[in-house]
Amino acid sequence: MVKPDPRVILKEHNIPITIQRVKILEYLIRTNEHPTADQIYSEISDEAILSFATIYNTLHLFTKAGIVNELHIDKDKTHYDIVRKPHDHFLCRECQKIYDIYDLPIQPFTNDTIDGHSIERAHIYFYGICRECLKKNKR
């Protein structure tokens, strides 16, 4: 699978290109994790001149533009996920890893409104114990 070019994504969303924005977007594209702003800062702060405020402000800009989603699956931290194919998330209560869940066996919304509300998107969070922790604990 060809990784998207951060500069193209920024241009498509009419966001001025800066080295900091490119580095943050490159990281989000290459990671399979759902990092917090702190984790992003720790991972890429040596690649470009970045402050925590720059990371936070850039993530806010990307969220507003629809490039990334904020995940509020963990009550203590906000995680970020680059927008790819629509999917939901599962949080393991033991290892705290967040997994992508694709193709739920639930029927998608067939109407664009529910009780007169216009539905733009839906997101489901699942909580439990992941298969790796189940294997480790032989449940």
Residue with tokens 């992508």: 100
The model carries a pTM of 0.84
Amino acid in position 41: Y
Predicted confidence (pLDDT) per residue in 23-61, tens digit: 999 999 999 899 999 999 999 988 778 899 999 999 999
Predicted confidence (pLDDT) per residue in 118-135, tens digit: 877 778 899 999 999 999
Q: Beta 125-128 vs 88-92: how paired, if at all? A: parallel
